Structure 1
Amino acid sequence: MNLKDTPIRQKLMSVILLTCSVILLLMCSAFILFEFFSFRNTVKNNISTLGGIIASNSSAALAFDNAEDANEILNALKADKHIVAACLYDKEGNLFAKYPENISSDVFPAKPQFSGYRFEDDFMIGYEPVVQQGAVLGTLYIKSDMEVMYTQLKRILFITFFLVIGSLIIAFFLSNFLQKIISKPILALKQTTRIVSENQNYAVRAVKMGKDELGDLTDAFNQMLTQIEKQNIEIKQAEEASAKLAAIVESSDDAIIGQTLDGIITSWNKSAERMFGYTASEMIDQPIFKLMPGERLDEGQQILNRINEGERIENFETQRLTKNNKLLDVSVTISTVKDPAGNIKGLSKIARDITEKKQEEIRKNDFIAIVSHELKTPLTSLKSYIQILLAMAKKENAEFGINALSRAEMQINKMTNMVQDFLNLARLEGGNILVKKEPFALELLIEEALNETQFLTTNHTIVSNTCSGISINADKEKLSQVLINLIGNAIKYAPNGGNITINCTQHGEKVRIAVSDEGVGISMADQKKLFNRFYRVKNEKVKNVSGFGIGLYLVSEIVRNHDSKIEVESEEGIGSTFYFDLEISKM
């Protein structure tokens, strides 16, 4: 089996035992080699010492040429059983005496070959010169076997073998114990991963068993589990939210449509099928322009431009085509779909069928127009009679009649203005308001507005700054309604009187017209909704002020039809300023 495929325990034990084995073998080999060379040197020293002694004792026998004494001296080598052969050569190199005596002379070299001792095969060979008073009398040849050395080496090898086996057995038990220090935390991690994998339970944590690298690994593993558990919870929550959202989308009464920035439809819910008559398979991957009437094809790009500028599209009223080419009035709210980096990747549209609502508004506006028209006729007659009576009272200098009839005329004018506002609202909602632009002097417009509103109050001072020399190209009648409405509001919402000022300020190619009062002021919350239809300011100080909340809406629409926008700056308790800009006309 490949070591890398074996369990961690076996790997650790194998590594420990292999390491121990290699170290023991290296140490034993070194020891044996050391002993081997030590024994060789010992044998060599012993033989050289013995040879020196024999050579010294043989000097007299060689000097007197006494072979019998020489043989007797060599026979002394019997004391060392490992000496297998020895002989003496005279100074001419001839064999003089030998040991043992019965050994063949052919065993010995014919002549002495060198001086000293060396190993040849399994024997120690030595040549020792026989010297007396500095004169060489001959040479001693001595030959010894190596049995003592080999016997000692065998004994050492035997002892070493059992030491190695014993050491490996001890190493086996030690490795079995020591490997648990490393393998136990790893096996615990393995067990934890198995539980997590089988049960998908990311709440399980591995037990930390130390402060070493394995402890750090356990901490990192537990941190990873914590992150996975957190992400898993978030994914489940996201899936639940997505499922709820999908259910809401499918069950919604409104058509919910997803599209790319290129106008390709990517999603289409059941209500979209009911509203437009197309199935999801018919519309997905189709251009959104399929639902747009020909005259509204530029609308998609205009909406996209507004979204790119950061504008939110809510309750945008438009028209769309059904599968049967029927025009539907719809209210559209558009949200952007962004990627994690915040880049816009698509759009989500919620379309609500307001055809019935539009029909209801048309019927309501027709009713308002009819009622307002029917009220206007008797009001005009009533105003004429009051004006005649007022003229007669002034001739007769009847102070009570003058005051009573003046107040009655003022109330008739208020009623007439209300009726006119309702008529204008009906025309506006029906798309019948026409703006007829023509050049005229701005100063003349403001003067007429002042004359028209002077009679509305006795507690306020209405003044205007000079606007001489400025001409504009606009609908004079409509702008007169704007100024009268703004001045009327300034009077109503400044119940304690004060100054009402009409300012004209030139800014390059434009002139800014502003109406300021010293009234109760308008809160920031009210300012955001001030120009909505039928909206009235929520302020206890002016709760008794009459009105329907359509005046400023009409002002806003008239100014918008002059390519401008009405703005307001106000501080509660200080007063308000309404202003708008118009292009200056070069007459």
Structure 2
Amino acid sequence: MNLDCENLQQLDLISAIINHTAEGLYATDATGKIVFINPAAERMLGWSRDELIGKCAHELIHYKRADGSPIAEEDCPLLEVMRSGKTLHNHEDAFARKDGSLFPVLCSSTPIVKEGRVAGAIIAFQDITERKRAEAKLFQLASIIESSDDAIISIDLDGTIVSWNSSAERLYGYAANEIVGQHITRLLPLDRKDEAAEFTLRIKRGEHIEHYETARLRKDGALVNVSLTVSPVKDEKGRIIGISKIARDITERKRVEEALANQRRWLEYLLNLAPIPILLVEPNSARVLFANRAADEMSGNNISRDGHADAHYLRYPCTDARGQRIPADELPGARVARGERLEGFQMDWHTPYGKRSLLIYADILPSMHGHPATAIIICQDITEIKRIEEELRTANRLKDEFLATLSHELRTPLTAILGWSRMLLTGALDEATTREALETIERNARAQSQLIEDLMDISRIITGKLRLDARPVDLASVIEATIASVRPAAEAKALRLQVVLDPLAGPVLGDPARLQQVLWNLLSNAIKFTPKGGSIQVRLERVDSHVEIAVSDTGQGIKPDFLPFVFDRFRQADATTARAHGGLGLGLAIVRHLVELHGGTVRVDSPGEGQGATFTVQLPIMIMHREASDKETRYAPSGPSSVVTPALDGLRVLVVEDEADARQLLAVALERHGAEVIAVSSAQEALAAIESATPDVIISDIGMPREDGYALIRKVRALPRERGGNIPAAALTAYAGSEDRKRALLAGFQAHIPKPVDPSELIAVVASLAGRTGTPSV
């Protein structure tokens, strides 16, 4: 009896709890019909207990989703609990009231299991309408914050950033994931670090900070001007738990304020922008009221405000257009103080940094708007104009000198030609004199022809129409031919000609006629300017990947101040009518242009007047001998080769050469003997070519930019055998010494071919490396 009473008490307790809980509860049987509902559920649903008991819960309570769309029974998550026997926890859904309206709920469904079978379910739910409204408000507030043009951030009381809107990202440059969790001092410049602690202290005292103007640091290190509003963040009990900061970019406002301030100073600003020196001075006293930036720069920042306008001029002498020193009382400031108006007063100011030519204007600005009358002095620096005028005068003088020289040089041979021609026409000359006359006419005709050729060459040079007929040239043969042509003139002056030729100099690619013209001009000059009994030396030698031709003499030499102008057109060291030597001053200008057309350089060295001169021509050596076509012949004679070169049919050859012309020449030579050629310009491209199509032989230049041939072959030898690590390779290089050959072999090359290489030698080496002949010579 006591046990039953105790059980009844427990049931009463449970019933009281169920009936008085704020959470809605209802229970269903295995078919989904409601068998129990508590008062809270009745209130929330609007149904009475009697109206729901025995009714299908799905049909009355849970038949629509939150968006109003119907829920099929097989898709109902609450019915799924009875089918699966698994509890559903904290599921957000929508229930229907009696009037058909929907409201959001947070529900849980637990299956009722009896004897191992699901006999029904208990559904507990809460009306979360208010929570959803609060979430919506929070979302709306977050959207407002996110869409605000102002940067809105919040920090905790320790200064750690906890929220960051998109405007903050735009203003400061940090994305939220970069800055949230960082301390607020990350945004503060060094000189404003104390502001963080100051703001926190004021907020803790309950203060609000509004429109505090300061500067903050962007991610890129730039400063941005901001106006801050700082407020406390409180919890539901009113306790301060954080700080909210709204930052408005006031950069534009600051710019406008600065512009307004500049407008108040418009005159000073305008005058400082002027590229010419401007002074505003007080009439009568010539006291400086204002000097713009250009005036400061012109005077070396020596203009003193409130000082005399001429004070900076008085530091250094000033001269007039005639070169006479200007007295102090005639300087611009003194004249303006007397009320004079200056219109283009010219003077030269001799400073330690050079002469400055100035054109000065001055006048009195009348008083207006309460401002007293003010004198203005404007100085125009015409130093550059004067320099250009001087250059034009020099150019005109050179033109006049050239025309005078040209007239003289053309008339002189004409005089001899016409004079002797008339004497020949008389028939009164004997045989010896007749022969002398004819030789004189021929010699002067040739001289005039050479003058005309020089003029035509200069014309072609100026118009860019001078062209080369390039072919392999043996410079030793060119030098010997030129020496032969000038030897009579040298012997006539008892000059000793010494020729030193390097047999290993190698050929160059060039125009033999033009190269002979270069040497003829240099040798003719040497003969012309070397006195009787002197000596001239011509030296040909190979220097690294170039050949040098040096023409030295013991003649009159060149003055140091004329050396920079030696190769200028129409320039002569002595252009007077009393000069000792003829000529138009074009020869060396033609030499420089022809040498540069060949890809070379020319320079002159002279210890000074009376100490001789050396002209050095440097030309690039030819990469290899090119076989002559049917339409051309080698300028330097060479005998035919008796060696039959092997065929390279079926061989794939990788050519690595950074010079495009040399690369093409190598490729053509190899292809003409049947090879398949892959031509690349760098080590990187070579490695890529090996990866894509393994060659049978590699021919590589040594001197290349970024990675040279040594680096390439080391990388190739580091490759596995199956990927081309053992491809035979030859080094093709202008570095032809024994140490260079040894270094190439040690680096991993099997052969070393010095430039220039004969095509037959190249073919033989490739064939040998491919195993088609014997071992190549290294």
TM-score under structure 2 length normalisation: 0.25
Which of the pair has more CA radius of gyration? 1
Write 1 or 2 for the structure with the bigger share of helix.
1
